[in-house]
Amino acid sequence: MATAVATVAAKRVNGGSFLIEDILPADIFTLEDLSEEQKQIAQTTADFAEKEVLANVDAIEEKQFDVTRGLLKRAGDLGLMSVDVPEEFGGLEMDKVTSALIADKISVCGSFSVAFSAHVGIGMLPLIWYGTQEQKNKYLAKLASGEWVASYALSESSSGSDAMNIRTQAVLSPDGKHYILNGEKMWISNAGMANLFTVFAKIDGEKFSAFLIEAGTPGLTVGAEEHKLGIRGSSTCPLVLADCKVPVENLLGEAGNGHRIAFNILNVGRYKLGAAAIGGSKYAFRNGIRYGKDRIAFGKSVTSFGLIQEKIAESAALIYAGEALIYRVVGAIDASLAELDKSAPDITMQVQKRIEEYAVECSIVKVWASEMLERVVDHMLQIHGGYGYVEEFPAERSYRDARINKIFEGTNEINRLITTGWMIKRAMQGRLALLPAIQRVMDEVMAGPSPKDEHTGDLAAQRGLLASAKKLGLFCAGAASQKFGNGLGDQQEIMGALADIIIEVLVLESVILRTEKMAGAKPLAIKMAKYYAARSFRIVETAAERVLAAVAEGDMLRTQMTIFRRLAKHEPENTVLLGREIATAMTENGRYAF
């Protein structure tokens, strides 16, 4: 459907199928497959981030919103906000990989990234997807150029993850020309500088709906800025709606259809958050390496010490894995969207449906990438020692700014529950052949020891780990559902542990496929893949053990642990040596590069 910027299309796969099927390296999209144009767009975005955003970081952090607005306008001039906008409204209508690439490259300052993504994502997408021709004509060009700033108001003080419980009410005026809105909104990004708000309210206390409200509309008041731990330069305020009169033509989508707007936007928000986490972690990584290289302790650069190298190596491997994961998922979404007929009247609905197919992958990206970022910024701060704890160095800001990512776009707890829950739901609906796959693994393990699958290539051992991780995931899911049946959803800790396994399966598989797809894979990429696989499998083992211990006891538990140990059996890699090699190469590069 979109302008074909990418020349390499990935294979269209079914959401969630990664747990039970294997695909070929050629079937996934990787960063190595970027087209010339995508590389140039990445470069323009990176230049903008380095030369304009970073140059203004102090003003941004001081909440000088005129500076932030100026930068948003600049981004609009460069076309960075038009990627998801249809051509008929002056947009570029490009693929999703390109928009993820922009979210990745622009992320050197959390505050600005949040302002940018709140604008182009949750700010503009509801209008693009649900707006009438008149609404789009009126607002879209102004938003795409950055002249206007958009804001999305869903959360309330007493409804966050449970978004359907909002209390804000809308009532049609007696003359039928306006909706009268009353209520309050909380944690609204961009509120302090926005021109247009997408506000959710229940018509007559029932029909969950969205409204486009212009700043300055009587009855709409923007409250005081929150004082936040991180992303301090972004605007976050409450909104008060007191008899706020909204023209009926500003109802967005149909009355009672607001939940679709709210939920479908989330999937896009989640993969873009993942892409932004990549940018943020690379920026932190570079700062950590540069500081560490110059910092002398005991007469040597601190990057020459093993325990510092361990942090560098793990961070690099995490970033490498993150790129593999995110671009694979977004590439699969593009492959699916590419099949659509752009001129179909219900094209925006079809687009959302296709993206919704990858809801589980989007949740995985969100959880994993936010935790990856947290780990990297922590490592990089630690390399700075005491200097990491003061505002003089950017490590401190990166550390604070990372934290929000585990909270917004659905908390990581909610997204872990979605991950496992979605898989189970799909299985029950018969749309994902999970139950037969579980049965096969059960049969296999009950039949006693069997020879391990043979794998070949540079990553043969890692392929073995991946196969084992998939089996362990299915085995644990089977054991847990045997024990709890339909009540499994209430066992949040077990759902969470199962999610950890599912997440690692997708990430590890992405890492292996990306590395294998690289023609003549670079030695450093292979090392990072091995390093990541070792880490990943430790997480799988821990989670599996936690599940089994919670669902069985006595002889049953002993039997299951025997099976667990058989499935988990492998010869460990020397990650000490690998870590030193990865860290040495990264330190020499002065940034994340391979």
Q: Which is nearer to another protein, 43 or 439 (CB)?
A: 43
CA distance 445 to 449: 7
For residue 554 the two structure tokens come to 């006595």
Residue with tokens 């500081």: 291
Among 206, 254, 391, 588, binds another protein (CB under 8 A): 588
Identified catalytic residue from 409, 509, 516, 545: 409
Q: Which is nearer to another protein, 37 or 371 (CB)?
A: 37
Q: Using the rule CB under 8 A, is 78 a contact of another protein?
A: yes
> Phi/psi at 94 (nearest 5 deg)?
-100, 180
Q: Minimum CB separation from another protein for residue 594, in Å? A: 8
For residues 325, 470, 531, 561, the Cα torsion angle rounded to the nearest 10 degrees is: 150
Residue with tokens 């969207």: 337
Q: Minimum CB separation from another protein for residue 217, in Å? A: 33
Interface with another protein by CB under 8 A: which range of 40-48, 403-411, 419-427, 547-555? Answer: 40-48
Which uninterrupted H or E stretch holds 584? Answer: helix 575-589
Secondary structure of residue 180 in the 3-state scheme = strand
Among 31, 53, 83, 193, binds another protein (CB under 8 A): 83
Interface with another protein by CB under 8 A: which range of 75-83, 129-137, 139-147, 477-485? Answer: 75-83
Q: Minimum CB separation from another protein for residue 152, in Å? A: 24
CA distance 118 to 114: 6
Which residue(s) pair with 96 in the sheet? Answer: none
Give Cα 288 distance to the centre of its chain.
Answer: 23
Residues between 295 and 314 with contacts to another protein, criterion CB under 8 A: 296
Which residue(s) pair with 252 in the sheet? Answer: 210
> Phi/psi at 559 (nearest 5 deg)?
-65, -45
Interface with another protein by CB under 8 A: which range of 80-88, 155-163, 416-424, 469-477? Answer: 80-88
Which residue(s) pair with 196 in the sheet? Answer: 150, 214
CA distance 537 to 134: 53
CA distance 430 to 432: 6
Q: Using the rule CB under 8 A, is 55 a contact of another protein?
A: no
Residue with tokens 């959360």: 155
Is-contact 373 395, C-beta < 8 A?
no
Which uninterrupted H or E stretch holds 306? Answer: helix 306-337
Q: Minimum CB separation from another protein for residue 524, in Å? A: 9
Among 80, 335, 351, 445, binds another protein (CB under 8 A): 80
Among 18, 29, 48, 475, binds another protein (CB under 8 A): 48
Q: Where are the alpha helices (DSSP H) in 205-257?
A: none
Q: Using the rule CB under 8 A, is 88 a contact of another protein?
A: no
Q: Using the rule CB under 8 A, is 92 a contact of another protein?
A: yes
For residue 155 the two structure tokens come to 């959360």
Interface with another protein by CB under 8 A: which range of 71-79, 335-343, 473-481, 535-543? Answer: 71-79
Among 41, 150, 380, 552, binds another protein (CB under 8 A): 41
Q: Per-residue x/- marks for another protein, 498-537, CB under 8 A?
A: ------------------------x---------------
Beta-carbon contacts of residue 219 (< 8 Å; ≥ 6 apart): 181, 241, 242, 243, 244, 245
Q: Using the rule CB under 8 A, is 44 a contact of another protein?
A: yes
Q: Which is nearer to another protein, 460 or 593 (CB)?
A: 593
> Phi/psi at 109 (nearest 5 deg)?
-145, 115
Q: Using the rule CB under 8 A, is 43 a contact of another protein?
A: yes
Among 36, 162, 175, 454, binds another protein (CB under 8 A): 36
Instruction: Kindly give the pairing relationship between strand 178-189 and strand 169-172.
Output: antiparallel
For residue 436 the two structure tokens come to 């037969």
Interface with another protein by CB under 8 A: which range of 43-51, 120-128, 245-253, 429-437? Answer: 43-51
Q: Which is nearer to another protein, 21 or 77 (CB)?
A: 77
Q: Which is nearer to another protein, 20 or 80 (CB)?
A: 80
Q: Minimum CB separation from another protein for residue 303, in Å? A: 13
Is-contact 364 503, C-beta < 8 A?
yes
Interface with another protein by CB under 8 A: which range of 74-82, 166-174, 267-275, 451-459? Answer: 74-82
| C-alpha torsion sign, points 25, 29, 31, 36 | positive
Secondary structure of residue 246 in the 3-state scheme = strand
Number of residues that bind another protein (CB under 8 A): 26
In the residue annotation, 225 being an active-site residue is answered as no
Q: Using the rule CB under 8 A, is 256 a contact of another protein?
A: no
Q: Minimum CB separation from another protein for residue 293, in Å? A: 9
Among 7, 22, 24, 47, binds another protein (CB under 8 A): 47
CA distance 284 to 396: 10
Q: Which is nearer to another protein, 207 or 295 (CB)?
A: 295
Q: Using the rule CB under 8 A, is 398 a contact of another protein?
A: no
CA distance 123 to 117: 8
Is-contact 515 466, C-beta < 8 A?
no
Q: Which is nearer to another protein, 34 or 372 (CB)?
A: 34
Interface with another protein by CB under 8 A: which range of 34-42, 123-131, 195-203, 377-385? Answer: 34-42
Q: Using the rule CB under 8 A, is 82 a contact of another protein?
A: yes
Side-chain-side CA neighbours of 524 within 13 Å: the count stands at 17
Q: Which is nearer to another protein, 263 or 594 (CB)?
A: 594
Residue with tokens 């731990």: 229
Among 37, 378, 413, 444, binds another protein (CB under 8 A): 37
Annotated catalytic residues are 409
Binding site for another protein (CB under 8 A): 3, 5, 36-37, 40-41, 43-44, 47-48, 77-80, 82-83, 92, 94, 294, 296, 522, 588-590, 593-594
